[in-house]
Amino acid sequence: MIFVVNFFISSPLVVGILHTEACLKKLAEEKSDLRASGIDLLEIRLDALPHDCPILIEWPLPVIATARDPKEGGLNKLSLTQRQQLLESALPWVSMIDVELCSAKEFSSLIARAREVQRSLILSYHNFHKTPSLAELQELATRAHNLGATIFKVATMTQSEEELQRLLEFQQLSHPLPVAAMGMGLLGKKSRPLLAAAGSALVYGYLYEPLTTMPTPAQWSSKKLAKRIKCMKNRQYLERVLFRSKLDFKRV
């Protein structure tokens, strides 16, 4: 069963990242319990898995497949051809593919095939050095939109409050497509719930095991992140109710 995902929603979707064979085994054991955890989507890092790793046939949630470019944090030094083959082989069982914006031209045939079989496209940008200017980020989002992305994902280094504020400002701007922004580095963990509250379409956390490419204290568990966002939603709802009650009281 292939899931259809609506990104045009007011609340962020929580993504649980799978990146090891052990993660996939745990998922197979926990299928029935995962739906109640608050996680909405799964991302499978094909670049991180062994080439002979068995893949599930049935998934409990919609799946995003990515085979990350080594220049943007990809593992195992996969070539462009290897990455394309991995993503093409995933098309029968995923709902979305995530391709780096810088690779979109080289992956044009893959993207065309994904459209043919009605898979959504995430075009992503990762910067492990800094958070670019607002103008640069807006230009990237426009490029992603022009290339037919369903959603633009941007992950940048947030080592200072200034960089985090810039990323928050970018998330809150008006864009031609849904945007999922996230910080990395010193303020990366702080950025996730803040950007979720600011309107990020997706918010990512690891499922079962932290990513080895990042310090564990800087990472969110997707289950804990889902609980945090649920609390945020409940608080926002309560604030709206209280605000309306005050208005009604004043009218009386």
Residue 95, phi-psi category: left (phi > 0), alpha (psi -120 to 50), beta (remainder): alpha
Residue 148, phi-psi category: left (phi > 0), alpha (psi -120 to 50), beta (remainder): left
Q: Residue 100's pLDDT band (boundaries 50, 70, 90)?
A: very high
Q: What is the pLDDT of residue 18?
A: 95
Q: What is the pLDDT of residue 5?
A: 57
Picking from 235, 159, 152, 250, the residue whose alpha carbon sits closest to that of residue 193 is: 235
Picking from 62, 61, 79, the residue whose alpha carbon sits closest to that of residue 70 is: 79
Question: What confidence tens digit (pLDDT) does each residue in 76-86 have?
Answer: 899 999 999 99
One CATH from 1.10.3430.10, 3.40.50.720, 3.90.1150.10, 3.20.20.70 for 13-251? 3.20.20.70
Phi/psi at 220 (nearest 5 deg)? -100, 140
Whole-number average pLDDT of the chain: 87
Q: What is the pLDDT of residue 10?
A: 56
Q: By percentage, how much of the chain surpasses pLDDT 70?
A: 86
Q: What is the DSSP string of the chain?
A: --------SSSPEEEEEE-SHHHHHHHHHHHHHHGGGT--EEEEEGGGS-TT----SS-SS-EEEE---GGGT-STT--HHHHHHHHHHHTTT-SEEEEEGGGTTTTHHHHHHHHHTT-EEEEEEEESS----HHHHHHHHHHHHHTT-SEEEEEEE--SHHHHHHHHHHHHS--SS-EEEEEEGGGHHHHHHHHHHTT-SEEEEESSS--TTS-GGG--BHHHHHHHHHHHHHHHHHHHHHHHHHHHHHH-
86 close to 67: Cβ distance less than 8 angstroms: yes
Burial (0-12, 13-18, 19+ Cβ within 10 Å), 102? middle
Question: What confidence tens digit (pLDDT) does each residue in 1-42 have?
Answer: 555 555 545 578 999 999 999 999 999 888 667 878 889 999
| Least confidently predicted of 37-41, 49-53, 227-231, 241-245 | 241-245
Q: What is the pLDDT of residue 51?
A: 83
Picking from 179, 174, 212, 226, the residue whose alpha carbon sits closest to that of residue 36 is: 226
Phi/psi at 18 (nearest 5 deg)? -110, 125
Question: Which residue type sits at 43?
Answer: E
Q: What is the pLDDT of residue 6?
A: 54
Q: What is the pLDDT of residue 231?
A: 84
Q: Residue 245's pLDDT band (boundaries 50, 70, 90)?
A: very low
Instruction: Give Rg (Cα) of the chain.
Output: 18
The whole model's pTM is what?
0.88
Q: What is the pLDDT of residue 151?
A: 97
Question: What confidence tens digit (pLDDT) does each residue in 171-213 have?
Answer: 999 999 999 999 999 999 999 999 999 999 999 999 998 887 6
Question: What confidence tens digit (pLDDT) does each residue in 116-144 have?
Answer: 999 999 999 999 999 999 999 999 999 99
Q: What is the pLDDT of residue 246?
A: 42
All structural domains of the chain with their residue ranges: 13-251
Q: What is the dihedral of CA 211, 214, 218, 220, to 10 degrees?
A: -20
Q: Residue 248's pLDDT band (boundaries 50, 70, 90)?
A: very low
